[in-house]
Structure 1
């Protein structure tokens, strides 16, 4: 298999697998502890307003919904998961996907928290690192847990696919 094709295929498989683990973690928190997770329709709403030049919102919750926002948000969620898996493979190489180790996966998982803290949350009107939300430290902890779950998912997905490909 061509190296570029292999890189893209493995990033897709590992990224989707890791994102599923992140989503299962959110489902666990919601089911057991009644803790809400990000409504991905808001991600779609954010993206849906961009073509009109609106990149930031007083609060994304109060911004008008856009057609297809839920599907767009979930698609973006998985595309972002794949993109960060690609980053991992670019830095650690395709050999990592064949023989995964835990540190690179958890490192990338934790580093991905930069995106919501410094890009998405401020643009959603929640402030840098959720400072405008009612319980910012709790929100930060939930984000860290979710992104750590994504990192664990990178490792588990690489283990799974490494044995099959």
Structure 2
């Protein structure tokens, strides 16, 4: 298999697996803490407004919906997981996929939480790291927990995927 194809395959499998772990954590969090799940439709709504030249909102929830935003939101959610996995595989190489270690997944994980804190949440109108939400500390802890689950998912998915070659 060509190296680029191999990296893409690893990235897809590991990214989807890690995103599934994140979503599983979201379900657990929802049941244990009666906490609403993340609404990925809002991510699609935000991206959908790019075509109209709008990149920042006072409140993404007040922005006009886009067609099929819920479905697009889930597609984008998994695509982002694949992109972060591709970054991990690119930076640490295919050898990391064969022998995954936790540290690289956690290093990439810092980036996974930086994106919502410093890009998405401000663009959604809730401030840097959710500073304008009713409970910024809770918002930050939920984000950290979700993205930590994703980081651990990168490691777990890579380990499961590595077993196929064992």
- TM-score, with normalisation over the residues of structure 1? 0.97
The equivalent of 1:151 in structure 2 is 151
Asked if the contact 1:130–1:139 (Cα under 8 Å) also holds between the matched residues in 2, the reply is: yes
Shift of 1:141: 0.7
* Counterpart-to-counterpart distance in 1, 2:31 and 2:106: 24
* Counterpart-to-counterpart distance in 1, 2:32 and 2:106: 24
* Deviation per residue, 1:55-86 (Å, 9 max, x gap): 11110111111111111111111111000001
* Deviation per residue, 1:3-61 (Å, 9 max, x gap): 11000000010000000000000010001211123200101111111101111111011
**Runs of at least 5 residues in structure 2 that lack an aligned partner in the other structure:** none
The equivalent of 1:116 in structure 2 is 116
Shift of 1:103: 1.1
* Counterpart-to-counterpart distance in 2, 1:143 and 1:37: 11
**Runs of at least 5 residues in structure 1 that lack an aligned partner in the other structure:** none
Q: List structure 1 runs of 4+ shifted beyond 4 angstroms.
A: none
* Counterpart-to-counterpart distance in 2, 1:98 and 1:43: 33
* Counterpart-to-counterpart distance in 2, 1:133 and 1:163: 43
